[in-house]
Copies of this chain bind each other. A is one copy, B any other.
Amino acid sequence: MDRREFAKLSAFALAWTGLPSYAQIPALSHNPVGYAAIGLGSISDIFMRACAQSQTAKVTALVTGHPDTKGAKYAAMYGIPKTSIYTYETFDRILDNKDVDAVYVGLPNSMHCEYTVRAAQAAKHVLCEKPMAVSSRECRQMIDACRQARVKLMIGYRVHYDPTWLQAIQILASGEIGQLQSFQGGFFAQLPAGAWRLTRKLGGGGALMDLGIYPLNAIRHIAAEEPTDFTAVLATRDRGGRFSEVEQSMEWTMKFPSGIVASCGCSYGQRGPSFLTLNGEKGYLVMEPAFNYDGVHLRGEAGGRPIDQPGAGKLPFQFTLEAEHFASCIRNNTQPESPGEEGLKDMLAIEAIYKAAGAPIA
């Protein structure tokens, strides 16, 4: 997606009246926020490409265990000086790097806490990937560390910034589907043997941690309340060895104080649609695909008319919008739309779901 396409998309997002303020695209600026990308895996690769399309967010430093190979490659791609390539050992010196305003934590889940805390101690703002950490205890540590250091903390719930998602929320807010009654959702993938997400040490848990969190977060976010009752069942049908440390699949239900109910599924060992339904008393919305990097498709019936809205924007646009939102928060000293507290709430729900399934974590 080039800058022109992106401007079109931004205009599209703004065309929806009554959008929450976080959806406002920040004004172009000649003073972009500088990010240090921590961990140069596939998610950071996307994040860096996303920043390359932005005029308000820029990757200005790298943190990697492979400074001479991966580090040198990305430094060349994005014009990052050699002096701004850090290892995990030298990371804390980033305190002195005036080109770095914030870090992007794209590490395995169990490393999120340590690097968020160390970044805060180095006086850098933190944009951390989901899941925020591997326990609510860690999430609280991260929130405390950022509060003490007076830096901002945001969790990378990228679909919060996708205009198609914002449109769904807008339709809901218009009253056209009536009072919300229930949700159903799911997110599924086939992970290859050897993936770090299949280890308890790095992943902290199974499919619920990394895929189930999408419908979980979307439902909490849209319902705008916290679930209080959970039931869950986990299953590992594939006995080939991939799932010796974490669950393959999880299905669960949630109930909210208002009476809204939900059921969801997720798996690291199956194919399936990425979907979410929003069922109201007068109409409903279906997002499918819902949680993909692009192509989010909104269907349903609202206000008595059919809805069929293919998603605008192409990978990595959700990440660009996310990076620019946090950049705007930093420049304007405002609260991110998806702060650390949002990550903590998801983690509390994840712990409750594992507990309901009879397999409490940590």
Residues on A lying within 8 angstroms of B by beta carbon are 177-179, 181-182, 184, 186, 188, 190, 229, 231-238, 248-255, 258-265, 267, 269-273, 275, 277, 279-284, 286, 288, 300-301, 356
Contacts and interface: CB of A to CB of B under 8 A. Distances in A.
A176 to B, nearest CB: 11
Contacts of A265: 182, 184, 261-263, 279
B253 A231 contact: yes
A192 to B, nearest CB: 13
CB-based closest 8 A-B pairs: A231-B231, A237-B259, A272-B279, A181-B270, A263-B263, A251-B263, A251-B253, A235-B261
Question: Which one of A184, A186, A255, A259 has the highest number of Cβ atoms from chain B below 10 Å of its Cβ?
Answer: A184
Contacts of A282: 271
A260 to B, nearest CB: 7
Contacts of A283: 271
Nearest to A183: B265
Nearest to A256: B235
**Quick one: copies of this chain in the complex?**
2
8 contacts: A182-B267, A231-B356, A233-B261, A234-B261, A238-B281, A252-B263, A262-B265, A286-B288
Contacts of A286: 273, 288
A177 B237 contact: no
Contact of A251 (B233, B235, B262, B272): B262
A55 B279 CA distance: 42
A253 B277 contact: no
Contacts of A182: 188, 235, 249, 251, 265, 267, 270, 272
Contact of A233 (B248, B253, B258, B284): B253
A236 B264 CA distance: 19
Contacts of A177: 271
A280 B270 contact: yes
B261 A251 contact: yes
B249 A232 contact: no
